[in-house]
Structure formats: C-alpha cells, structure tokens
Chains A and B, each alone.
Chain A
C-alpha cells in the first residue's frame, strides 16, 4: 500500500478508470433512460434534474448515451489492445530470440511496413472494402497495435538476452522458446502492462476519431465519437451536446494515462527517480 502511495498519479488515474469502466458495466444492466427510444417532445433539453447532461436532438438522455458509449469505446479499445498483444508479443519474443536472423529481419520489416499505415488509413482502406462498422475500427486499431507491441517486446527482450541468467539457462540446456517463456516474458510483463494502458487510451482516442468521421461504430450503437459528430451542427445553440461526450473521452484517456504513468513509477523505481 505504501508503494501505491509513492506515485502521485496512480490513485487519480485508477479512480477515473474505475468510474468509466464502472459506467460501462452498469450500462449493461441499467441506464437512466432507454437510448433506443426516441422522445422528440424532449429534444435538445439543457441539463436538468431529470436529465443531468441534457438530451440530444432525438430527445435521448445524454448521460445514458455516454454510459452506453463507454461500453463501445472500452470494448473496441480493449479488443484492439488484445489483438496487438496476442500477435505482437510473440513476434517480438521470436525476433529477439533470433536476433539478426532472417526471422528477425522479416518481422522488423513487416513492422516498418505497418508503421507506414497510420490506423486511420487502415480504417479507410477497410471501410472502402468492407464498409464501416465498429468491428472494422477494432481491426484497424488492432493491426496498428501489433508492431507497437512487437517492437517494445523485442527491444526489451534483446537487453535481457545479454544477461548472464539467460546464459545460465542455456547452460542448463534450455532452448530459446522455453527461455523466452520462463525468463524473458515475465521480466518484460511490467513494461507490457504499462504500454497496454497507454495503447488502451490511444485506442479510445482512435475509436472516437473513427466514429466521428463515420468509419467506426454505426447507429444505433451509441458511441462518443458519433455523439460529437451529431452535435457539431448544433454547437452554436446546444454546446452541451458536444461538451459531455468530449469530456468523457478526455477524462477516460487522462485516467488511463495517469494510471499507466503510476504503474511505471511502481514497477520501475529507477525511472521514478529520473522523472521527479
């Protein structure tokens, strides 16, 4: 517990993250108002006691929409990070185990290639071919995450491979696959968790951007990016429509970044000293 308090960013980050993750979970069972039901009589209401964040142009409750939108954002970003880790980490481990070999060269060149396609361009291509959907957003962000994790894992693994304890494991007759699993992976896991939270937050931003330009979640699925897109034409007379979804994105991403920084502080005392 003492350790947790040593980082100034961990607790606020964790609180923000828990609030939005909580909202997403609660929305699966209960929301203040059904977001699929239109209530034109109550359209574009400013925040009030009945609707704390107001209502949109179809009379839907903004708070409820944000809760459901949290579910979309978190699901998309989480699965995309999952794709990046599941594909990227083994690639990085394999590249490091065969440093300088053909496999390493191939993996790193593929990485460079994917890096040349920002996730938005991947989404543009996928949408052009298959049409827009939340699934395409997941795939686009996920593909972009693969080289991020592959590079990180490879870099960290390479510095571990030169350690004497890896040599000791080889002297004990262990092969490179077993060494990667037993020695390398556990020792890079902290780094992966920290990078995971950062990619998670970037995923939320990317999903919002894609949905905003219509390449991500499609109606009737509520999404923060779409809410902002819908609010744009009304911003001059109903700024609250744009305010709350934007704040939701900002605070979620902020929370995850603070959490990531905090975790890094705790995992790596050396870095903490360098940063303060």
Chain B
C-alpha cells in the first residue's frame, strides 16, 4: 500500500482553478521528486497534503495517507496528523523559525504537542532530533536562538522539528533553493540519509531538475496545475514522452551557441584590489574591526571575452562589482578600464562609466514602477554629455527593444505589464542603449525559470556576437557559468582561489574549494540524452 496516494485532486482558490485532476503516489522509503516551474501548482500540492491552504480553497478528489482520507478529516484530527505523521520543511529557512524562541523549545514543541511527556523528556528527545539533523549539542545547544545560526543551520533545525516524531512522510518544499551550493548538497545528503534510516517517504519539491535527479526514485513533472508526466526517475530521464518535459530537460542543460571573438587586448584590468569595511562592533568608543570583503584580487577581462565569476554568498562578489562600476573607492590596488582608472578624485570616472553597464538579478526590483519603459531604458543617457533627443532617441529606444526581442511599442508600457523574463530583457535593453563595451551580469538569470533562462542566455550570446560585447558573468550557478563563459574565476572569502578556462576548471579543479563546489553542484545524470 502506498504511503501517500493523491488521486484526481482538483483545487480552486476563490473559484480560480489551481490544480487540475492530479494524481501521484509516495512509497515508504522512497523519494518522490515533484518538478515544475513557477505557477505549476507544486507547492499547493504539498500544502494540500498538510491541508494548510489559503482561505477560499476548495478541493475535490482524494488524498489518502496510509489509507486515511485527509480531505474528510476534521481540523482537530488534522492537527493530530501534522507533525506526527507528516513533517514539512520549507523554502526560506531565514524566516521559518520563531525569532523569539530557542531552537530547543521549538523542536521540543513538536513532541509536547503530540505526546504526553514531561518537559525534560521532550528536551532530551529534541536534542536527539537535532543531533540526527547534524546539529550536535556541544556546538548547538538547545538554548540557541535562530538569529545565532546560519541559513543552512536553521534549515537543519526545521528538519529536526519535522522528523522529531519520526513521521511516515516528509514533505520538503524547495528546501535548498535559498541556500548556497555546498550547503544545498549537505542538506540533500541529510534528507537522503533520514529517508534511508527511518524508512520514511519523502516528497521533494523543486524547480530544479538537477537537484531532484540525484535523489528521487520517482518523478512527477507538473505544469500549470497539471501533471504532464510521471514515473520512476531512471526510466523517465531516459525516455521522456511529453514535449514539455523534454523542453524542460533540454532547457536545464542548455548551452547557447556562441561564436566568440576574444581579442588579446585587456579591456578591464583589476590589480591587487583591496576593499575593507570598518565596523564599530564594540560601541562608539570601542575597538573598530576591519572586515576585508575583497582581498588582493587581480584579474583581467579581454575584449570580447565572457568571463565567469563564481562564489557563494558573502564571498565578495557584490563588493567587487561595485568597485568595478566605480560606485565605491577601494583601499588598495587599482582598476583600469581600457587603461583609465574607474575611480578618480573621490568620483567615478564618467568617461569610463559610460562604457560599462550592469544587469541585476531581481526582475521585479530592478525598475522604478512609476516610469514607462522608454524612460527606464534611457536612464543611462544621464552618463552622456550630449544624449540623443527627439526622433534620434525614439530610434535608439526602438533599436534597443528590438535587439532584445521586444516590440518598439512596448516603450509606452509600465513595467508591471511584463513577465519576469521580459523584464530581464528590458534590463538588458537598458544596459545596451548607450552601447557599452562591458556588461556585468550580476546573477542576471538566477531568478528565472529554466525555460526562460535558456532563452535569455541565447539572447546574451547572440548580442555579444552582434555587438562585440564583453561580459563579466557573476553567478552561483556553475552550470549556467559553464554554458556561457570561456574563462572563470572562483572566489572565496574575498580572494580568487582559482582561475582558468571554464571547462578545465570545472572538469579538473585544482583548488580544494573548487573541488568542493564542483562536487556539490547538482547535475543531471551523465547518461541522459537531451534530444
């Protein structure tokens, strides 16, 4: 008998259909991967099992947990199941814990709420659960508060809460999306171990095929509230039937075609750059401590090259970006763009600045919501002494929009009328409009769904060929960096630890940290045929 059997489940919220007739099963001791892009309904499916749904949700069909029909249970009965029979882990570990309670109290609460045990007993078992989630008591005592832990550690606390009573089913909703690659690998390993140890069923929800591929025994692929394909993962990866699944798989491993015409001349030369922050950590008069965000970094980008910069959060990528853009001065070393310093006399060098542009990660926060597209993409004109006006400007706007695959009429719209992928195109148009030499792509495709990401990567490759653009491609995602860059820098704790042709670095990493990164990066099975 299946542990969890969802049959013909349909769900509507305030009359808007969200799930359409979906079915899936989780077996004990096995991992079911549920994959879909945003809006596919994968998270709502998970919350349906918990019956933690938003107001106005109405479902029909059947959700059976060990033969018990979840949909027919009362709220009180559901409370008895949540946490005891089914545990759940969420996407955002930073906000998933109550900031005012100790981790011990929060884990022990799971036990106290379901079992009639003493407080001391519950604490002892909470410590045991934390240990199983690899947070040993000598380093992470029960008295810790969430703000004293990192994101990965907090996710372990959430896992400890979910498994404290050894539930039969664990639901993990994008459990590693907010985490760094190496942490992600550790958390996935932990989940795998718990499944094996407890004989638990795991429903692992993700937008990322590669994350699930390693772990899942069975797969379900969802799109717009429907299951498009399902089956044992080995077989499914080898023989995908549905065009959507195939497109998804193809997009996941997409490599844009690029001619590439790297010249020998260096466009940007960064030498021995140091950027320190002073923090008054001990009060106004106490000792100040210096934090070196970027330490003695040197590299160069050649004209027409696409250079990757990989590293995890807090490694100094963003600080380095700001220094290159001339937004902040550096304490040591120099940054030369085509031979000229980017920062002179406490000001950014305007001659240089107008030859660099940047595209940011968040397609939703990158635009002033009150401006029309025409005004948004012409903002960099502020850098020019004599920007084009009137007809000339209209032509430039039209050209920029058309070169990123949008319509010139789109300039009269506001940003909220566009999807995430379109917004990223507009961000690229904004960068292109003053015809820069270098574009810094700061996690520019990280927030996009895989299929949209593949399109934007193609666009970037095409643009660099057409306009001879040079890219500095900053990302935490190794597979994306691999697909679009020729050379790569690996950054850790403010330093560049390895540098070389992208393929060489990723296939034969030399530095210990690069080896870790490459090993941790989720990958599709090697023998999968992308048709």
Q: A interface vs B, CB < 8 Å?
A: 163-165, 167-174, 182-183, 186-187
Whether B368 and A171, one on each chain, are in contact in the complex, defined by CB atoms closer than 8 angstroms, is no
Known: A168-B367, A174-B379. 16 other contacts (CB 8 A): A164-B361, A164-B362, A165-B367, A165-B368, A167-B327, A167-B360, A168-B358, A168-B366, A170-B327, A171-B353, A171-B358, A173-B350, A182-B368, A183-B368, A186-B368, A187-B370
Whether A169 and B379, one on each chain, are in contact in the complex, defined by CB atoms closer than 8 angstroms, is yes
- 28 A-B residue contacts at CB 8 Å? A164-B360, A164-B365, A164-B366, A165-B365, A165-B366, A165-B368, A167-B358, A167-B360, A168-B358, A168-B366, A168-B367, A168-B427, A171-B353, A172-B379, A172-B381, A172-B382, A172-B383, A173-B348, A173-B350, A173-B353, A173-B354, A173-B382, A174-B382, A183-B368, A186-B368, A187-B368, A187-B369, A187-B370
| Chain A residues positioned under 8 Å from B361 (CB to CB) | 164
| Chain A residues positioned under 8 Å from B362 (CB to CB) | 164
- In chain B, positions 328-374 with a C-beta closer than 8 Å to chain A are 348, 350, 353-354, 356-358, 360-362, 365-370
> Least Cβ distance of A152 to chain B in Å?
19
Alpha-carbon distance A245/B471, docked complex (angstroms): 70
Whether B357 and A171, one on each chain, are in contact in the complex, defined by CB atoms closer than 8 angstroms, is yes
Whether A168 and B379, one on each chain, are in contact in the complex, defined by CB atoms closer than 8 angstroms, is yes
| Chain A residues positioned under 8 Å from B381 (CB to CB) | 172
Alpha-carbon distance A163/B371, docked complex (angstroms): 15
**B275 interface contact, C-beta 8 A:** no
> Least Cβ distance of A203 to chain B in Å?
29
Query: How many B residues are at the interface, by size bracket?
Result: 20 to 34
Alpha-carbon distance A245/B360, docked complex (angstroms): 58
> Least Cβ distance of B119 to chain A in Å?
36
> Least Cβ distance of B291 to chain A in Å?
15
Closest to A186 in B: B370
Closest to A190 in B: B370
**B496 interface contact, C-beta 8 A:** no
**B380 interface contact, C-beta 8 A:** yes
Closest to B434 in A: A172
Interchain residue pairs A-B with the least CB separation, the first 9 = A164-B360, A164-B366, A172-B380, A173-B383, A164-B365, A163-B365, A172-B382, A172-B379, A165-B368
> Least Cβ distance of B126 to chain A in Å?
34
**B456 interface contact, C-beta 8 A:** no
**B397 interface contact, C-beta 8 A:** no
| Chain B residues positioned under 8 Å from A182 (CB to CB) | 368
Closest to B356 in A: A171
> Least Cβ distance of A271 to chain B in Å?
16
- In chain B, positions 278-331 with a C-beta closer than 8 Å to chain A are 325, 327
Pick the most buried of B356, B357, B361, B368: most chain A CB atoms within 10 A of its CB.
Answer: B368
Pick the most buried of A165, A170, A182: most chain B CB atoms within 10 A of its CB.
Answer: A165
| Chain A residues positioned under 8 Å from B367 (CB to CB) | 165, 168
Alpha-carbon distance A170/B362, docked complex (angstroms): 16
Alpha-carbon distance A182/B376, docked complex (angstroms): 12
Pick the most buried of A165, A171, A183, A186: most chain B CB atoms within 10 A of its CB.
Answer: A171
Closest to A173 in B: B383
Alpha-carbon distance A169/B348, docked complex (angstroms): 14
| Chain B residues positioned under 8 Å from A169 (CB to CB) | 379
> Least Cβ distance of A101 to chain B in Å?
13
| Chain A residues positioned under 8 Å from B354 (CB to CB) | 173
**B430 interface contact, C-beta 8 A:** yes
| Chain B residues positioned under 8 Å from A174 (CB to CB) | 379, 382
Whether B380 and A171, one on each chain, are in contact in the complex, defined by CB atoms closer than 8 angstroms, is yes
Name the contact of A171 in the complex, choosing from B327, B365, B370 (C-beta under 8 A).
B327
Alpha-carbon distance A168/B363, docked complex (angstroms): 12
Alpha-carbon distance A165/B427, docked complex (angstroms): 10
Closest to B378 in A: A172
> Least Cβ distance of B54 to chain A in Å?
11
| Chain A residues positioned under 8 Å from B350 (CB to CB) | 173
| Chain A residues positioned under 8 Å from B427 (CB to CB) | 168
Alpha-carbon distance A99/B418, docked complex (angstroms): 32
